[in-house]
Structure 1
C-alpha cells in the first residue's frame, strides 16, 4: 500500500507523458487524476494506521547505489510526521488534478500538463517518505525540475520562460547549501540515514569542525547549511524573489506547488531534522529571525500589488514565515499544524482566483475587475471562506493554527521569540487588510472590466467548482478538527518520536498558558485588519490613494518589493552580464577566435594568396623559379659538403 501511494502518480505520469498521443487527452487527464485520488485514499488509510494507530512503517524498496563506504537505499519511511504530509500533499494534488480537467479544457497540451503535475506529486511524495538525506535530495530536486516545467508550461510566453528560469536559478542557490549540508552530515556521521544520524546527534553536541582556520560548532554549521536549502525552496527572505514571478504558470500549478506542497518542503525538512536542530540553538535563533522578518516583509508587499495571483503569492511567502519562526522556537507541531491548515485555505484561494481569471477571460489585474459577486456567486463564497480563514477569524482554520504559533512564540520567553511575536501580530493585521482588499476590489466596488469582458463572465464548470468544496469545508472546520490532536496538551501522543523537543525549549507547553491578553491580541489584530480593509476599499475609497500620495517613497518601496529584484539585478545580474559580454567579445572573440581558429585561418589564407600570386601562367616565370631553385639546392649541397670536411 505504501509503495502504491508514492509510485502510482509516477506510473500515471509516464502513461500520460509517453502515451498521451495514443490514449488521447481525456484518458490522460482521468488516468493521472485517478492515480492521485487513489493515493489520497490510501493516505487516509495510512493516517489511521500510522497517525492514529501509532505504527511506524519502513519499506525498503531497493539498494539505490553503493560507493566505497557509502551505501544508499531507496526506502519508504512513514511515521506520524510523514503521514501528515502524505495527507496534505495527496489531498491538494487530488483537488488540483480534478480542477485542472476544467481549467485546462481548451489547452492543446493537456497530456503534457497532467504528466508534469503527476510527476511533481510523485517527487513530493518521494521527498516526504525518504529515510535518508540523499533520497530526500532526489525528491527535492525532482520537485524543482517539475516546478521549472510547470511554471514555464506556456513556453511561448517570454515572461513564463523567464519566470521558470528565475525559479530554477534561485532555488539552485538554496540547493547548493542543502547539498553542502548533506556532505557535512556524511563527513561527521559517516552515514546519511536519518535513524543513524539522529541517534548519534547528542554525542555530536559541542563538537567543532575546522574551516578557514576557525573552529566552528559542527551541528550549527550543518543545520545552517540545511536551512539554506529550506530558505530557497520555501521562499524565505533573501531567496524569495522567484515565488511571485512563478505565478506565470497556470493557476492550478500555483495552487499545487506554490501554496500547499513544494514551498512547504523546507518546513518539513526542518521538522524532520528537529533532533539536530534541538542541539543547535544558534540555528534555531537564525530560523526564528528570518521567519519572522519574512512574514512581515511579504505582508507589506501584498498590500500594494494588483495582480490577484501575486497578492496571494506574497501571502504564501508571509504564511511560510510564520511556520519558520514556529520552527525556530521549537514549536514544530504548531508549524506542521499550520502547514496543513494553510494548504487547505491557500489552495482554496488560489483555485478561487483561477475561477475569477477563467471568468474574466484570463484577466488578472484587480483594477480591471469589480462587481463580480453578481456573476460568480459560488466562487465569491469560496473566496470569502478562504479570506476569513487566512485572517484568523473565529472559528476558521487559521484561528487555531496561526494563533497558536504566535502564542508559542510568546511562550518561548526569548528575545527572538518576542521579536517573532511582535512582527507576527503586525503581519496578522496586514494579512487581514490585503485579504479584504483583494476581496473588495475583485467582487465589490463598481464594475471596471471592459464591456466585452463583463459580457463573457460566467461561473466555472462543475468539474472546477465541486472539488473546491472539500477545501472550503476543511478551511472552515480543519482547525478545530485537528487542533487537539496536533497541538493540544497531549500533542506528544500523536507526534511521538517523529519530532524531538527538548525540555529546555518550553514553547509548546507555554503556548497553552500565555496571558489572556496575548490570546486576544491576535484576534484583535485580525478584526482590526478586516475593519481597515472595509474602511479603505468600501466606505472611503479615497484613503488608499491619499496615503500613497502622501507617502510616495514608502509606497514606491513597497510596490517595488523592497527593491530586492533591483538590488539583485545591480549586484549579481548586471555584473554577470557585463563579465559575460567581455568574455564573449574579448576572450572568445578576440583571443580564442582572433588568435586561435580565425587567426590560423587568416595566416593560411594570406599564405595561400601569396603562393597563388606566383601562379602567373607565363613559362619564363616558371623557368626562372626553377633556375633559382636549382641554384639554391646546389649552393646548399656545396656548403654542406664543405662543412662536412
Structure 2
C-alpha cells in the first residue's frame, strides 16, 4: 500500500470504529482514534504537496480495485494524484485534523461525542474520495458522500427542530444541483464514450463547435455539458440561486461550520470546475455564465453580510461571497488563481469560524453580536486569532511588499478579471472591487461589535440566565458575567490556522500564479493560461491599488459607524429601512422559494395524501375490504345467541337443506 491509500482510507477506518463502537468504546477512545487518523493523513499529505512544489512531479494513478464492467462502461476505482489533488489533500486533511482537535474542547459536554467524531471522519473520507477521483462516477460517489455526511453533521442535534429543518434543506437543495451534475455525467459519457477524466479532457478540444440535441433543440455540445456540470457546482458551492442552504447550515455545531464552509464541501464545486477546466475552455458561453454567476454571488452575499447580527451567519455569507470570487476567477480562465484563493481561504475562513466558536464558547453560547462588546481583554488569544483572520480576508497588504494571505489571492483574482479583456471579466473586476469594500466593512464591523466598546452582556437573556445577580452587578453592563478563554485543544488549532492566514499567500504565491513556476506546478492538472498569469503583473497601478483602497474605505466606514459613532448604524437603518429589510431578509429568496416551490409541493402532497391515498386507495382498498369483513362479522354475530335450541334449529335447517340438495341432485 502507498501513502495515498493511508491518506484516503484512514479516516474511513476511524469513522467505522468510532461509529460502530460508539458508547461501547467511550468518548476518549473514539475521539483519539479519529483525531489520530486525521493527523496521520495530514502528515502524509504535506510531503506529497511539497514534492509537487519542489519537483513538479507527473500525475500518478494508483488503482484500488476494478469497480464497474457493464457493456461499454468499464472503469476502476483508482486514486489520482497530481498537483491539483495535492493542494486539496493538504487543505482537506489539515483543516479536518484541526477541526477534530478543536472539537475535543468544543464538544466536551455533548453526550454523543463518538457519533459526532465518526461523522467528521466520514465527511473527510468522502471529500478525499472526491478530490482523488480518476473518473466522473468516482467523483460523484465522493460528491454524494459529502452530501450525506453534511446532512448528518448539520442535523447532528436532531432533537432541535431548526437543526433538522436545516439538514433537510441542505439535502434537498443539493439534490437540485446534483441532478444537473448527473445529467452532465450522463451527457459526457454519451458524447465521449468514457467516464475517465484524463480521456475526456484529452478529447474535449476536438468536440469544440459540435452540436447535440437537447430538450428538442440543437445546441453546442460542450456548452450544454459544461453548464449541466456547473449546475452541480452551484449546488455544492452555494452559488446564487442554490445558496439558501448554506446560512441555515449554521444550525450544526461550530466545528461543522468550519469544516463545511472553509475547505471541504463548499469548495467541491470550485475543484470540479478546475479539474474539468479543459472542458470549460472549449465553451465561451459556459465560461461567461461561470463568471457572471460567480460575480453576482460575490456581491449578493456581501450585501447580506452587512446587516446580519449572528456572528456565524456573517462568516457564512462571507464564505458564499468568497466562493463567488473563486468562480469568476475560473470563468475568466484564471484557474490557478481560483485554486490559490481556495487554498488561502481554507486557512483564514476556518480560523474565523473556529475563532467565532471560541467567542461563542466564552459567551455561554450567545451568538448575537449585539450582546458582545469589550471581549478584547477578556479572551485575548481568541482576539488575536480573529484579528489575523480578519486581516487575511480583507486583504491587508502593501503592493510590492506583501501582506496577509487574502492580499495575494484575492488581488490576483481581481487583476486577472481585469486582464482577461472580456466584457464579463470587466464586470467581474468592478463587482470584485465593490465586494472587497463590503467584505472589509462587515469583517471589521464584526470585530468592533465583538471585541471593542463597552460590554453589552447584560442585554442578553441567554447569558443572564446563567448568572447569579447580586446588588453589585445588577447595574453593571456585564451583568456579573465573566467570559473565559477557551481550552488549549481549541486554541492550538487557532494558532496553526493563524500562521496559515498570515503566511500562506507569501510562501506559495509563486507556485500557484507565477507565469513560469505556476506553469510547471500545474502542468497537466488544469488549464493554465501563462499569458493571463503574465498579464496580471502588467495591469495598471490603479488596478493593483483598487482592492486595497476598497479595503481601506470599508475599514474606515466600519470604524466611524461602530467604533466612533455608536448610534449611526441605527439611524442609517431607519433612514434606508426598505434597503435594510431587503438585505436583512436575504433578498427574500427564502420567502420566494417558499411561495413558488415549498407551498405548492406541500399542497400537492396533501392532495395526494388525503384525496389520493386515504380518499381513494385506502377507501376502496384495504380499508374497504376491512369494512366489508367487519360488516359480515356483524351479520354473523347476530346468529351467535348463546342458546342451545337456536344452534339445534340452525343445524336442523342446515341438515334439511343438505338432504333436499342431495334428493334434487339425485332426481336429475
TM-score normalised per structure 1: 0.95
Report the secondary structure of 2:65's partner residue. Answer: strand
State the distance in 2 between where 1:614 and 1:126 align.
71
8 Å Cα contact 2:369-2:446 kept in structure 1: yes
The 8 Å contact of residues 519 and 528 in structure 2, kept in 1 or not, is answered as no
Aligned to 1:567: 592
Which of 533, 539, 542 does residue 508 from structure 1 map onto? 533
CA distance in 2, matches of 1:26, 1:296: 44
Helix, strand or coil for the counterpart of 2:536? helix
Q: Secondary structure at the match of 1:457?
A: coil
C-alpha distance after superposition, 1:604-628 (max 9, x if no partner): 3334434544566675985997699
Q: What residue number does 1:49 align with? A: 51
Tell me what 2:488 maps to: 462
Take 1:301 and 1:628, find their aligned partners in 2: how far apart are those partners? 90
3-state secondary structure, aligned to 2:489: helix
Gaps of 5+ in 1: none
Q: What SS does structure 1 have at the residue aligned with 2:537?
A: helix
**Hey, what does 1:27 align to over in structure 2?**
29
1:412 CA displacement: 1.0
How far off its partner does 1:601 sit? 2.0
CA shift for structure 1 position 633: 6.0
Whole-angstrom distance in 2 between the partners of 1:539 and 1:360: 24
Selected match of 2:522 from 495, 516, 519: 495
Q: How does 1:495-644 map to 2 (within 5 A)?
A: 495-501=522-528, 507-613=532-638, 622=650
CA apart distance, 1:50: 2.8
Contact 2:336–2:528 under 8 Å retained in 1: no
Residue 632 of structure 1: CA displacement? 9.6
Q: Distance in 1 between matches of 2:446 and 2:529?
A: 42
Over 3 Å counting, the alpha-carbon distance change for 1:54 and 1:576 in structure 2 is same
Q: How far did 1:634 drift?
A: 10
Q: Using the alignment, how far apart are the partners of 1:414 and 1:96 within structure 2?
A: 41
Quote the RMSD (CA, aligned, Å): 2.1
Cα distance in structure 1, aligned partners of 2:215 and 2:6: 47
Distance in 2 (alpha carbons) for counterparts of 1:175 and 1:347 = 26
Aligned mates of 2:660, 2:559 — CA distance in 1: 104
- Which structure 2 residues correspond to residues 438-457 of structure 1 after superposition, within 5 A? 438-450=446-458, 452=467, 455-457=481-483
What's 2:440 paired with?
A: 432
Indicate the residue corresponding to 2:476 in structure 1: none
Which shifted more, 418-427 or 596-605? 596-605
Question: Aligned pair in 2 of structure 1 residues 466, 626: CA closer, same or farther (>3 Å)?
Answer: closer
Write the distance in 2 (CA, Å) between the matches of 1:632 and 1:544: 102
Cα distance, 1:292 vs. partner? 0.3
Partner residue, 2:293: 290
Cα 1:632/1:555, change in 2 over 3 Å:
farther
1:397-452 per-residue CA deviation (whole Å, 9 max, x = no partner) reads 11111011011111111111111111111111110111011111111122111352
Does the Cα contact within 8 Å between 2:45 and 2:93 map onto a contact in 1? yes
Write the mapping of 1:139-288 to structure 2, written as runs, cut at 5 A.
139-288=142-291
Instruction: Compute the displacement of 1:569 (Å).
Output: 0.7
Cα gap change, 1:630/1:423 in structure 2, threshold over 3 Å: closer, same or farther?
Answer: same
What is residue 472 of structure 1 aligned with on the other side?
Answer: 498
For 1:483, the equivalent position in structure 2 comes to 509
Give the match's secondary structure for 1:374: coil
Q: Give the alignment partner of residue 10 of structure 1, picking from 12, 19, 37.
A: 12
Partner of 2:312: 309
Distance 1:299 1:635, change over 3 A: farther
Alpha-carbon distance, 1:555 to partner: 1.0
Are 1:260 and 1:342, in contact at CA under 8 Å, matched by a contact in 2?
Answer: yes
**Any conservation in 1 of the 2:119–2:153 contact (CA below 8 Å)?**
yes
Q: What SS does structure 1 have at the residue aligned with 2:213?
A: strand
Match of 1:396 among 394, 404, 412: 404
What is the SS of the residue equivalent to 1:11? helix
Compared CA separation, residues 530 and 636, structure 1 to 2 (3 A): farther
2-structure distance, mates of 1:522, 1:507 = 19
How far did 1:22 drift? Answer: 4.2
Measure, in 1, the Cα distance between the counterparts of 2:663 and 2:601. 62
Q: Secondary structure at the match of 2:432?
A: helix
Render the CA deviation track for 1:248-277: whole Å, top value 9, x for unaligned: 111111111112211001000000001100
1:339-358 equivalences in 2 (<5 Å): 339-358=342-361
Residues 433-480 of structure 1: CA deviation (Å, up to 9, x unaligned): 110111111111221113528624100111211221111111112111
Deviations 1:360-398 (A, max 9, x none): 111111111111112101101111111111111111111
> d(CA) in 1 for partners of 2:240 and 2:538?
31
Q: Is the 8 A contact 2:419 2:539 kept in 1?
A: yes
Cα distance in structure 2, aligned partners of 1:355 and 1:198: 44
Q: Provide the residue aligned with 1:418 in structure 2.
A: 426
Tell me the equivalent position of 1:79. Answer: 82
Contact 1:8 1:35 in 2 (8 A): yes
Quick check: 607-616 or 294-303, which moved more? Answer: 607-616
Which secondary structure state, in structure 1, belongs to the residue aligned with residue 307 of structure 2? coil
Instruction: Tell me, in whole angstroms, the C-alpha distance in 2 between the residues paired with 1:595 and 1:454.
Output: 67
Q: How far, CA to CA, are the matches of 1:235 and 1:636 in structure 2?
A: 85
By how many angstroms is 1:119 displaced?
1.4
Aligned length, in residue pairs:
638
The CA distance in 1 between the partners of 2:622 and 2:178, in whole Å, is 39
1:370 is matched with: 373
Question: Equivalent residue for 1:111?
Answer: 114
2:94 is the counterpart of 1:91: yes
